[in-house]
Amino acid sequence: MTYPDLLILMCQRKMEKSPEENAILELFNDYDDDGSLTIDAEEIKKWLQEHGKFVTKEQSEKVFHQMDFNNDGTIKYDDFLALVTARLLTLSLTAK
Ligand SMILES: [Ca+2]
Ligand SMILES: [Ca+2]
């Protein structure tokens, strides 16, 4: 399973229980361990570990850059929302 797939899987699980926006915000808060409203590579690494996926520092930095949707060096909720929305849209299109 690739990293984005894991992300979407977690999101879909949450969505079964709550409306779309809340599910994404909840997931964002899951990542944002220190409540700084931004996600850094270290938090990604930690989150993946908590979900049984061990990555190196290099790998977590690669994921970080994938998730930094507007390439400004930080992952904020906007990036996260854009990423998840784009991904879900792709999935729902390919599912048909
Ligand atoms: Ca943080
Ligand atoms: Ca960004």
Compute, in angstroms, the gap from residue 41 CA to the centroid of ligand 1: 9
Residue, of 94 and 75, whose pLDDT is higher: 75
Please tell me the CATH code under which domain 3-94 is placed: 1.10.238.10
pLDDT tens across 28-87, in order? Answer: 999 999 999 999 999 999 999 998 999 999 999 998 998 898 899 999 999 988 888 887
Q: Evaluate if residue 1 carries a pLDDT over 60.
A: no
Rounded CA separation 19/69 (Å): 23
Compute, in angstroms, the gap from residue 29 CA to the centroid of ligand 1: 9
Compute, in angstroms, the gap from residue 33 CA to the centroid of ligand 1: 5
Token reading at 48 = 């993946």
- What is the predicted pLDDT for the residue at 18? 63
Q: Tell me the whole-structure pTM to 2 decimals.
A: 0.75
Strands 38-39 and 75-76: antiparallel
Which ligand minimizes its atom distance to the CA of 74? 2
Compute, in angstroms, the gap from residue 5 CA to the centroid of ligand 2: 20
